[in-house]
C-alpha cells in the first residue's frame, strides 16, 4: 500500500468521522440555541438511539427482512422512541428546574447523562453489542480506495 493510498483512506475516514461530529454538533447547537442549556445527555441520547435501532431491527428482521427496508423502518421507530425519551427527560428532569439557578440545571443534565450511560451498561451487562451489517458490506471501489454505502449515507445525511 503506497503512501498516497494511506492518505486517501485516511482522508475518507476523516470526512466520515467529521460528518458524524457535525451531526452531533448541530444537535448541541440547536438545543443550546433554543433553551440556552448545554445538554450533556445529548450524546447519550444518540447512544440510546443506536441501541433502540439495533433492538427494533433485531425484532423486525424475521418479519420484514434485514435489508434496506428493515433498516429504514427501524431508524424511524428508533427516532420516535428517542424523541419520546427526550420529552420524558425534559418533563421529569429539566422542566421542574427551569426556575432554579443555571448551575442546578447543568448538574441535572450531568445526572441525566450518567443515568442513561449506566442504564445502558446495566441492560447490556457491559458487553460489546455488535450491530451486524444487515446492509452488507457493499460500496464503491475507486482504485485501491473503498467507500462503503454506509459511509456515503452518513456524509449525505450530514450535508442535507
> What is the domain extent for residue 147?
3-159
pLDDT class for 64, splitting at 50, 70, 90? confident
If 0-12 CB within 10 Å is exposed, 13-18 middle and 19+ buried, where does residue 108 land?
A: buried
Place of cell 431508524: 75
What integer pLDDT is reported at residue 127 of this predicted model? Answer: 83
The partner residues of 139 in beta bridges, in order of sequence, read 148
pLDDT at residue 134 above 60? no
pLDDT at residue 55 above 80? yes
What integer pLDDT is reported at residue 117 of this predicted model? Answer: 92
> How far does CA 49 lie from the centroid of its chain?
6
What integer pLDDT is reported at residue 132 of this predicted model? Answer: 60
What integer pLDDT is reported at residue 133 of this predicted model? Answer: 60
The model's pTM:
0.73
State how many domains the chain has.
Answer: 1
User: Lowest mean pLDDT: which of 18-27, 41-50, 129-138?
Assistant: 129-138
User: Lowest mean pLDDT: which of 7-16, 58-67, 85-94, 97-106?
Assistant: 58-67
Amino acid at each position: 500500500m503506497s503512501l498516497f493510498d494511506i492518505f486517501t483512506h485516511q482522508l475518507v475516514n476523516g470526512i466520515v468521522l467529521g460528518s458524524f461530529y457535525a451531526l452531533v454538533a448541530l444537535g448541541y447547537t440547536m438545543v443550546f440555541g433554543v433553551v440556552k442549556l448545554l445538554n450533556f445527555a445529548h450524546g447519550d441520547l444518540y447512544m440510546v438511539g443506536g441501541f433502540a435501532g439495533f433492538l427494533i431491527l433485531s425484532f423486525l428482521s424475521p418479519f420484514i427482512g434485514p435489508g434496506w427496508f428493515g433498516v429504514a423502518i427501524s431508524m424511524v421507530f428508533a427516532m420516535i422512541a428517542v424523541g419520546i425519551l427526550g420529552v420524558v427527560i425534559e418533563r421529569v428532569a429539566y422542566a421542574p428546574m427551569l426556575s432554579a439557578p443555571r448551575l442546578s440545571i447543568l448538574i441535572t443534565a450531568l445526572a441525566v447523562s450518567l443515568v442513561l450511560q449506566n442504564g445502558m451498561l446495566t441492560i447490556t451487562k457491559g458487553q460489546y453489542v455488535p450491530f451486524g451489517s444487515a446492509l452488507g458490506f457493499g460500496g464503491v471501489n475507486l482504485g485501491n480506495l473503498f467507500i462503503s454505502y454506509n459511509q456515503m449515507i452518513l456524509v449525505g445525511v450530514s450535508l442535507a
